[in-house]
Structure 1
Amino acid sequence: MLGDDHEFRHGHYSALVPLPITVLVVTWRGAAHIADCLDALAAQDRPHRTLVVDNASDDGTAALLAAHPSAPEVLRLPRNTGYAGALAAALSHVDTPLVAWLNDDAAPAPDWLGLLEDALGAAPGAAAAASRLDRADGTAQSTGVRLTADGHGYDRVTGELPVFGFCGGAVLLRTEALRAAGGVPAAFFCYYEDTDTAWRLRLAGHDVLAVPSARVRHRHGASTRPGSPEFHRWNERNRLLMLVRCAPAAVAARELAKFAALTAVLPLRRDRPAAANFRFTLRARVLAEIVAMLPGALVARRAVGGLARVSRGEVWRSWAGR
Structure 2
Amino acid sequence: MDGPVRTYGDELAVVTVTYSPGRTLDAFLDSLNAATDRPVQVVLADNGSVDGAPERAAEARENVTLLRIGENVGYGAGANRGVAELGPEVGWVIVANPDLEWGPGSIDALLAAAARHPRAGALGPLIREPSGEVYPSARELPSLGAGAGHAVIGTVWPDNPWTRAYRRPEEPAERTAGWLSGSCLLLRRAAFDSVDGFDSRYFMYFEDVDLGERIGKAGWQNVYVPSAEVVHLGGVSTGKPEVSARMLAEHHRSAYRYLADRHPGPRWAPVRAALRAGLGVRSRLATRSAA
Q: Does TM, scored on the shorter chain, surpass 0.5?
A: yes
1:82 to 74, 83, 86: 74
Structure 1 residue 39: deviation in Å? 0.4
Given that residues 140 and 157 in structure 1 are in contact (C-alpha distance below 8 angstroms), is that contact kept between their aligned partners in structure 2?
Answer: no
Structure 2 residue 111 is the aligned partner of structure 1 residue 117: yes
Given that residues 256 and 279 in structure 2 are in contact (C-alpha distance below 8 angstroms), is that contact kept between their aligned partners in structure 1?
Answer: no
Q: Equivalent residue for 1:54?
A: 46
Q: Equivalent residue for 2:179?
A: 165
Instruction: Return the alpha-carbon distance in structure 1 between the equivalents of residues 279 and 201 of structure 2.
Output: 23
Instruction: Return the alpha-carbon distance in structure 2 between the equivalents of residues 99 and 78 of structure 1.
Output: 23
> Following superposition of structure 1 onto structure 2, how do residues 177-188 of structure 1 map, counting pairs within 5 Å?
177-188=191-202
Structure 1 residue 220: deviation in Å? 2.6
Instruction: Return the alpha-carbon distance in structure 1 between the equivalents of residues 279 and 167 of structure 2.
Output: 25
Question: For residue 115 of structure 1, what is the amino acid of its counterpart?
Answer: A
Q: Equivalent residue for 1:222?
A: 236
Structure 2 residue 219 is the aligned partner of structure 1 residue 205: yes
Q: Secondary structure at the match of 1:147?
A: coil
1:234 to 246, 250, 253: 250
How has the CA–CA distance of structure 1 residues 263 and 42 changed in structure 2, closer, same or farther, with 3 Å as cutoff? closer
2:56 to 41, 49, 64: 64
Instruction: Return the alpha-carbon distance in structure 2 between the equivalents of residues 157 and 70 of structure 1.
Output: 40
Q: Secondary structure at the match of 2:225?
A: strand
Structure 2 residue 26 is the aligned partner of structure 1 residue 35: yes
How has the CA–CA distance of structure 1 residues 221 and 142 changed in structure 2, closer, same or farther, with 3 Å as cutoff? farther
TM-score by length of 2: 0.77
Instruction: Could you tell me which runs of 5 or more consecutive residues in structure 1 were left unpaired when the two chains were aligned.
Output: 1-17, 280-322
TM-score by length of 1: 0.70
Structure 1 residue 223: deviation in Å? 2.6
Higher normalized contact order (CA 8 Å, seq sep 6+, divided by chain length):
2
Structure 1 residue 28: deviation in Å? 0.7
Given that residues 65 and 71 in structure 1 are in contact (C-alpha distance below 8 angstroms), is that contact kept between their aligned partners in structure 2?
Answer: no
2:11 to 20, 37, 55: 20
The C-alpha deviation readout for 1:125-183, integer Å capped at 9, x for no partner, is: 22111111111011111341222333649544420354211000111011111111121
Given that residues 35 and 68 in structure 1 are in contact (C-alpha distance below 8 angstroms), is that contact kept between their aligned partners in structure 2?
Answer: no
Instruction: Return the alpha-carbon distance in structure 2 between the equivalents of residues 263 and 109 of structure 1.
Output: 37
Instruction: Could you tell me which runs of 5 or more consecutive residues in structure 2 were left unpaired when the two chains were aligned.
Output: 1-8, 151-165
Q: Equivalent residue for 2:272?
A: 256
Instruction: Return the alpha-carbon distance in structure 2 between the equivalents of residues 164 and 254 of structure 1.
Output: 27
Instruction: Return the alpha-carbon distance in structure 2 between the equivalents of residues 235 and 187 of structure 1.
Output: 13
Given that residues 146 and 164 in structure 1 are in contact (C-alpha distance below 8 angstroms), is that contact kept between their aligned partners in structure 2?
Answer: yes
Given that residues 130 and 209 in structure 1 are in contact (C-alpha distance below 8 angstroms), is that contact kept between their aligned partners in structure 2?
Answer: yes
How has the CA–CA distance of structure 1 residues 252 and 120 changed in structure 2, closer, same or farther, with 3 Å as cutoff? farther
How has the CA–CA distance of structure 1 residues 212 and 225 changed in structure 2, closer, same or farther, with 3 Å as cutoff? same
**Percent of residue pairs identical:** 24
Structure 1 residue 254: deviation in Å? 6.6
1:126 to 120, 123, 132: 120
Given that residues 138 and 170 in structure 2 are in contact (C-alpha distance below 8 angstroms), is that contact kept between their aligned partners in structure 1?
Answer: no
Question: For residue 287 of structure 2, what is the amino acid of its counterpart?
Answer: A
Instruction: Return the alpha-carbon distance in structure 2 between the equivalents of residues 118 and 205 of structure 1.
Output: 20
Question: For residue 110 of structure 2, what is the amino acid of its counterpart?
Answer: L
How has the CA–CA distance of structure 1 residues 126 and 62 changed in structure 2, closer, same or farther, with 3 Å as cutoff? closer
The C-alpha deviation readout for 1:47-79, integer Å capped at 9, x for no partner, is: 222111111211121342134345412211111
Q: Secondary structure at the match of 2:180?
A: coil
Question: For residue 49 of structure 1, what is the amino acid of its counterpart?
Answer: Q
Instruction: Return the alpha-carbon distance in structure 1 between the equivalents of residues 17 and 276 of structure 2.
Output: 33
How many residues in Structure 1 have an aligned counterpart in Structure 2?
A: 256
